[in-house]
Amino acid sequence: MNIALIAHDAKKELMVQFCIAYCGILSRQNLCATGTTGKIVSETTGLKIVKYLSGAQGGGQQISAKIGCGEVDMLLIFRDPLNPKPHEPSDIDLLRICDMHNIPVATNIATAEILIHGLERGDLDWRDVMRR
């Protein structure tokens, strides 16, 4: 499964802790991330992550393009609802494209845990069937 990771500045540590907790599951997936998030998670966990530009430089748009091309199966985007950033309107576009392409998306750790447990149980295997 191809999983994209994005975390706003105030949520990067939470993303790292999430990836540490679920490193066993995530290590069996293909991961990509926006630049800074990918760098921090990769350095901390040892997970292999394809890194795109930082969010402020267009990394979210790069991930959106991957979603549009059918190259991302799940998005974990830990958003900071209290401190919006200037590039955050692109997050709305990212969520819209996930809806258009039926991409499971989590914007907080509670939903991310549900998706990761579902992934481990095989609940998301339908994504592989769709790709064939």
Count the domains in the chain.
1
User: CATH number for the domain including 46?
Assistant: 3.40.50.1380
Pairwise CA distance, residues 2 & 8, whole Å: 20
Q: Is residue 131 part of a domain?
A: no
Q: Is residue 130 part of a domain?
A: no
Q: Is residue 56 part of a domain?
A: yes
Pairwise CA distance, residues 105 & 107, whole Å: 7
Q: Is residue 48 part of a domain?
A: yes
pLDDT band at 132 (very low <50, low <70, confident <90, very high): low
Pairwise CA distance, residues 87 & 112, whole Å: 23
pLDDT band at 128 (very low <50, low <70, confident <90, very high): low
| Model pLDDT for residues 62-98, shown as the tens digit of each residue | 999 999 999 999 999 999 988 877 765 578 899 999 9
Whether residue 129 has pLDDT greater than 90? no
The answer to whether 1 and 127 are in contact (CB under 8 A) is yes
| Cα–Cα–Cα angle for 53, 57, 58, rounded to 5 degrees | 75
* Mean pLDDT calculated for residue range 48-52: 98
* Mean pLDDT calculated for residue range 18-45: 98
Whether residue 59 has pLDDT greater than 70? yes
Range of the domain at 116: 2-124
Q: Is residue 129 part of a domain?
A: no
The answer to whether 63 and 38 are in contact (CB under 8 A) is no
Task: Read off the tokens for 9.
Answer: 């500045």
Strand pairing category for 74-78 and 2-7 = parallel
Q: Is residue 96 part of a domain?
A: yes
Q: Is residue 132 part of a domain?
A: no
* Mean pLDDT calculated for residue range 104-123: 96
